Structure 1
Amino acid sequence: MTPELDAWPAVRDRFDDSLAVPPYGIEDVTGRFRERFVGTLRSHPGIAIVSLGADGPEGDAVERDGLIGPPGGATGDAGARTAAENPTAPPNATFPAAAYEACLTGDQVRAVRAFESLATPGHAVVAEADRGRGKSSAAGIAAGALALAGADVLVTAPAFRNAAEVFARARELLGETDTDSERDARRLDAPGGGRVRFLPPAEAADLPDDPDAVIVDEAAALPVRLLERFLDAPAVAFCTTVHGYEGAGRGFSIRFRERLRASPFSVRDVRLDEPIRYARNDPVEAWASRALLLDARPAVDEAVAGSTVGDATYRTLATDDLLADEALLREAFGLLVAAHYRTEPNDLARLLDAPNLTARALVAEGRVVAVALLAREGGLDAETRRGMYEGERVRGNMVPDVLTSQLRDETAAEPRGVRTVRIATHHALRGEGFGTRLLDEVHAEFGGEGGGAEGDRDGDVDYFSVGYGATPRLLRFWRRAGYRTVHLSTSRNDASGEYSAIMVRPVGEGGPGSALLDRHAAAFRDRERDGLSDAHRDVDPDVVVGALRACSAPTTVDLTETEWRSVVGASFGPGMYDSAPGAFRDLAMAALIEGDGGSETTDGDALDGDALDGREKRLLVRKVLQGRPSESVADELGYVSAGACMRALGDAYEPLVERYGTDFALEERERFINK
């Protein structure tokens, strides 16, 4: 079923072509992923290898028989699954007997029984399992049973395919036939008026139509900020994979677990260990985890405890080193998995084979404590840039593609950039400066005198960049690292609910990277002045503040005397905001972009000496820039009334008049101060 194993690493196919991102060709793609894959086939217990003869079965040769015990011996008995024999409903069960008869193991019976609590508001369930243990099936059986009782069950997951098993089991219990389209598959109606419906996480977190219960599948693959919004549901279940890419998010197991324990919910935990997809101790399951690094993990906390930034060593994670040192590969890839909500086997292949990717790490006491995956972008020829501008998609050049195709800059793909695809610090060492140190080393290597990545075409790097789901914390981190905002996506990520930010840090002054930043920072400034009341009207105000604060474009405040009268009157006298909303908007943009150089707390609020505190900045965003009604702004920001909200807005503009006011404006202010 595979090419000849010795020759397989040299095979090139459509997947390799997808790794050959411009300006690289397929000849630049290596075969290290296949090399490692073949090695696991030849070394892992329980894998048989048979070379088929060209002239029929007589020419077959058994390279490995794959047996882990004597032929016909105890292997099958040792791996047998302990299934639930004739499963029945537990005593006092409230779900119908058919729900328990659909279970395949005793663990599933216990899980379905735990899900019964979702029929009562104020209850939460956390179901954990390795892959192939029937966790999603149990959730689907429970969803169907709740719907039969008349409940409206809202199901969400990073993508609908993650919840397909939930709907398959619910459909069987409800007796529905297979649907003809995915749209139909996303909603199941029960005879008594109950239903099971799917929505993407960001949309589901708003709890539309007031569901009776919510089931979040693969919860560890969602951001904690998003998971917390589901705690407003009457009853909720969080299902997550213990191992594998989906279960790697430390946010769920640490931060969100703490948040859930502190909530008013009565929480019930259930774990499923009995395998269904595999036999117990099946060597094929273990081989798959090893070959695809499904169980890759960072070093244990004890191994990195006490590590300091100054003692860490910066190093290149060359492919040869990763293949030669399995522990190094597992720790580095484990950190990369933990840093991102979406990982798939292709990501491992890209790390080992893609010519545009390279990795750097900080190592302390032989352990990987921080890692960055970097992509070389740009440097594209005029013909490729023209095609990109005219609508062609060019793989592997994310930032140049956005700046060219969406923001209409045909020259954006000419400078050479290094984009941070992922960066991660060991969770036990976060907040200790390792991420900052790693970025500093990357900047020095790629952007320093004579710098450049190993294997880079000519060593020239014009700028660094990053694209990520924008949160206030991440915006502060990247701003402090010298990156500046050039774009904020106009739509939210379906899974995370976040808007994506693109930020750029030029190399040197006056070069191609500086020119790229200057024109796109100015375009971002001008675009947001109007876009915040349109496409970005729903962006979190703290995200808006962070994105604008990280914009390097200069601002000017050029108001007419009439506009200054309105602003000063609303700030110091009886004037009204509605008399000159554009003037208030210009001042707000200037204030939020320029700041005042003051410090911030970890949640973005200002310390003493800043002209505006955190709530005043949010007020400027919600009311002035996003154009929200005064009543809703007052409710969101905790003002006692719309009138109090507008008075606070006037107060917030007093220091802005002091800072930006012309002589005329300051004279106008004196009329009210001295009155």
Structure 2
Amino acid sequence: MIAGLARDAKREAEAANERRVLVCAGDRDRGIDGAYDAIEAVDPDSTAIVSTREGFRFEEHRPRNAGELLGRTREVVVLDCHGRFVPNALGRCVGAVDGGGLLVLLTPALDDWPAVRDRFDDSLAVPPYGIGDVTGRFRDRFVGTLRTHPGIAIVSFDADGAEADVVERDGLTGEAGERGEPRGRPSVPPNATFPAAAYEACLTADQARAVRAFESLATPGDAVVVEADRGRGKSSAAGLAAGALALDGADVLVTAPAFRNAAEVFARASELIGSGGAGGEGDVAAEDIRRVDAPGGGRVRYLPPAEAAELPGDPDVAIVDEAAALPVRLLEGFLDAGVSLAFCTTVHGYEGAGRGFAIRFRERLLDGPLAVRDVRLDEPIRYARNDPVEAWASRALLLDARPAVDEAVAGVSVEESVYRALAPDDLLANEALLGEAFGLLVAAHYRTDPNDLARLLDAPNLAARALVARGRVVAVALLAREGGLDAETRRAMYEGDRVRGNMVPDVLTSQLRDEGAAEPRGVRTVRIATHHALRGEGFGARLLDEIHAEFGEGGGEDARGVDYFSVGYGATPRLLRFWRRAGYRTVHLSTSRNDASGEHSAVMLRPETGPGRELCSRHAAAFRDRERDGLSDAHRDVDSDVVVGALRACPAPVPVDLTETEWRSVVGASFGPGMYDSAPGAFRDLAMAALVGGDGESGDVLDDREKRLLVQKVLQGRPTESVADELGYVSGGACMRALGEAYKPLVERYGTEFALAERERFISD
């Protein structure tokens, strides 16, 4: 029976150039036997299985390593959903099935599956919650999609064989052959400057148009933006273009959030360069897969995003793949170097599709000096446009989730929005609400993925809150309860154990060595997003105010003893201002940069109770003391505006206790002939006093340039000439004179009677 179902599904899939799904539900061993029967019936050339078990006779992957399938295709992919069902792994398996192929799912009995708990559920049971607190809403919804979408066959297997196997659905659409007309290869455009082989390797007219657009990159000052859903061949087009440019002698720098995202670019570039652009076989001089050298001196090379943004080696062309998955600030770093640029981005997909690229960065790109050409790829490469499996995966994993259209929220005011809880059961019952809320989370952060959808619906420590206007979600926040851990767990964390789902307590305990940090209870903002058409109108601040009122002191039953609110994020000056104005205070700035964003992560707290205030107070003081020395060490290269923002949001005052000798040096350098080098520690103490907690008058005695000067020269200890160059002083001497001028108001503000009397000596003269 299973063999016949598989043959029928495969035959229809091949005729329509689509894919089909075969679900083997019930007993795991019977399901594995059924998968073998299906594979033998269709006799595929390539099969892969993703399972927690081992010992299969075809290609194996573990669920956590399903990313190894990215960029590869198989005729049959088997996903064993027993033991550990990972939503991200499902997305990667679907993407690996070629047109005419089968995805085989091995699942528990569908009626029972929502109540089954596995190792993925265990990852959602973050302390102090247990696995019994995890719900099965995601799988309940997922089972519903299996039973309603076309192209999905379902067979139920009984464990002991007492009952006959049941075919719940045959999965046939009855449209075989109507949508599977073979595609002809696109022709080489007239007057093409790239080799003909680059176009002959294209599989769709869309792809050929993208390669044609890339030809403009041979001219400095041009930019190309390529947008596509998954599976449309944008990375292949970028790779063919990179290879063609390298064959013409260009140095092509490629970057992406991780190298696996750019692997297809290098595969296509290597093939084209290896053929010499003529479509034949040839040799490729490659140090490894991350660099391909062309015979004429050109090359294609990969660097991680933060390093690539510096454009080392002065490349001729830079190509950014999965650009939407990178922060806007980092992308902007590519715009000022005068090289030709290409930005390729996935519109919808589990790799991430942050709208920061589409909304904010495109404005910056179009306002700049580059001539921008846009290309959109709609035609799937490996299967027909109406493939039912693509539609099913998009709904099951919300890969196409998006915020409300701009017109639906145009003109909405903060005052007319209503604060509401997005209870998981409400989201499950309302697909439009779920899609808009999750779509906003995807739009706000490039790392939001299908695993996050499962967390939103099932994780006991998470809660979602939103502002709704005219029936549409206009702002949303995902919150995590943290802390409240028992003494044994706190001790284990202090001794090095990782405790899932408690990001801020973990940082404060394991990194900053505070064993008591995980005892107070906190609520952390994991994500917060405002509809892009309403940014800057105060919706984010209003949403936070409502959250503070609900969960804070006096907030009612849901507060449940919350001692503090917290947030952790890649620090930028704008975000530091936003969170400081919302009452959050800096307690930590990471020493290392995020590999993808190039940003240092800030941790901020907003205390609510006595224990929360004590936690914030001691860690703010520790942060202040660390930065006094750390800014000339691990934080020496941190952007000075980030330093200013982080210090300004630190509530721990800096005591100024200089000796008379130190005051003489400071006053002499500010008002007389003294020199900074005579007492650098004194200058550092005064700089910290002026910058830390600068919410009042002490924060206003310096302008922005002077604050940057204090950070770069005094606190970070950078060479005078480089500081002068970066801050626009005409010389190192002018820079140091400006430094003396900056310290005059600090002497006025913090000077003792002795210091002020010393100042009078120079003023009276």
TM over 0.5: yes
SS in structure 1 opposite 2:614? Answer: helix
**Contact 1:213 1:233 survives alignment (8 Å):** no
Q: Distance in 2 between matches of 1:450 and 1:284?
A: 46
**Contact 1:211 1:233 survives alignment (8 Å):** no
Q: State whether structure 2 residue 134 is matched by structure 1 residue 34.
A: no
Could you tell me how far 1:190 is from its partner in structure 2?
Answer: 2.3
One-letter amino acid matched to 2:311 = L
* Deviation digits for residues 474-533 of structure 1 (CA, Å, limit 9, x no counterpart): 11111111110000000111111111000011113xx21111111100000000000011
- How many correspondences in the alignment? 651
Q: Distance in 2 between matches of 1:452 and 1:168?
A: 57
**Contact 1:469 1:501 survives alignment (8 Å):** yes
1:217 corresponds to which of 321, 336, 356? 321
Map 1:151-190 onto structure 2 (within 5 A): 151-175=250-274, 184-190=288-294
One-letter amino acid matched to 2:594 = N
One-letter amino acid matched to 1:107 = D
Which position in structure 2 is the counterpart of 1:131?
230
1:83 corresponds to which of 177, 183, 193? 183
SS in structure 2 opposite 1:369? Answer: strand
Q: Distance in 2 between matches of 1:556 and 1:378?
A: 32
**Structure 1 residues 44-53 or 93-102, which shifts more?**
44-53
Q: Distance in 1 between matches of 2:355 and 2:404?
A: 13
Taking a change above 3 Å as real, the CA distance of residues 252 and 116 of structure 1, as seen in their structure-2 partners, is same
Taking a change above 3 Å as real, the CA distance of residues 543 and 92 of structure 1, as seen in their structure-2 partners, is same
TM-score normalised by length of structure 1: 0.93
Which position in structure 1 is the counterpart of 2:564?
463
**Contact 1:479 1:550 survives alignment (8 Å):** yes
Structure 2, unaligned stretches of length 5 or more? 1-105, 276-280
Which position in structure 2 is the counterpart of 1:572?
671
One-letter amino acid matched to 1:645 = C
1:521 corresponds to which of 601, 617, 620? 620
Which position in structure 1 is the counterpart of 2:591?
490
Could you tell me how far 1:450 is from its partner in structure 2?
Answer: 5.8
Q: State whether structure 2 residue 737 is matched by structure 1 residue 633.
A: no
Map 1:130-529 onto structure 2 (within 5 A): 130-175=229-274, 184-231=288-335, 232-244=337-349, 248-449=353-554, 451-453=556-558, 459-508=560-609, 511-529=610-628
* Deviation digits for residues 29-83 of structure 1 (CA, Å, limit 9, x no counterpart): 1111101111111122333323346799x94433223333x3xxx4432254x63
One-letter amino acid matched to 1:220 = A
Could you tell me how far 1:597 is from its partner in structure 2?
Answer: 1.9
2:713 corresponds to which of 620, 623, 640? 623
Could you tell me how far 1:316 is from its partner in structure 2?
Answer: 1.2
Could you tell me how far 1:250 is from its partner in structure 2?
Answer: 2.6
Which position in structure 2 is the counterpart of 1:603?
none
SS in structure 2 opposite 1:48? Answer: strand
Q: Distance in 2 between matches of 1:269 and 1:298?
A: 23
Q: Distance in 2 between matches of 1:93 and 1:100?
A: 9
Map 1:634-653 onto structure 2 (within 5 A): 634-653=724-743
SS in structure 2 opposite 1:441? Answer: helix
Which position in structure 2 is the counterpart of 1:5?
110
Q: State whether structure 2 residue 140 is matched by structure 1 residue 50.
A: no
One-letter amino acid matched to 2:319 = I
Taking a change above 3 Å as real, the CA distance of residues 527 and 183 of structure 1, as seen in their structure-2 partners, is farther
Q: Distance in 2 between matches of 1:47 and 1:352?
A: 24
SS in structure 1 opposite 2:333? Answer: helix
**Contact 1:125 1:268 survives alignment (8 Å):** yes
TM-score normalised by length of structure 2: 0.82
Q: Distance in 2 between matches of 1:450 and 1:594?
A: 28
1:559 corresponds to which of 645, 658, 677? 658
Runs (4 or more) in structure 1 with deviation over 6 Å come to 53-56
**Contact 1:322 1:328 survives alignment (8 Å):** yes
**Contact 1:218 1:239 survives alignment (8 Å):** yes
Structure 1, unaligned stretches of length 5 or more? 600-605
**Contact 1:240 1:247 survives alignment (8 Å):** no
Taking a change above 3 Å as real, the CA distance of residues 632 and 83 of structure 1, as seen in their structure-2 partners, is farther
Q: Distance in 2 between matches of 1:561 and 1:79?
A: 87
1:612 corresponds to which of 698, 702, 727? 702
**Contact 1:127 1:269 survives alignment (8 Å):** yes
* Deviation digits for residues 207-247 of structure 1 (CA, Å, limit 9, x no counterpart): 01111111000111212211111112511100011233556
Taking a change above 3 Å as real, the CA distance of residues 270 and 351 of structure 1, as seen in their structure-2 partners, is same
Which position in structure 1 is the counterpart of 2:82?
none
Could you tell me how far 1:163 is from its partner in structure 2?
Answer: 1.0
**Contact 1:492 1:498 survives alignment (8 Å):** yes
Q: State whether structure 2 residue 224 is matched by structure 1 residue 119.
A: no
One-letter amino acid matched to 1:227 = L
**Contact 1:53 1:59 survives alignment (8 Å):** yes
Q: CA RMSD in A?
A: 2.2
Q: Distance in 2 between matches of 1:161 and 1:254?
A: 26
Could you tell me how far 1:405 is from its partner in structure 2?
Answer: 0.7
SS in structure 2 opposite 1:285? Answer: helix
One-letter amino acid matched to 1:619 = L
Q: State whether structure 2 residue 727 is matched by structure 1 residue 667.
A: no
Q: Distance in 1 between matches of 2:402 and 2:322?
A: 18
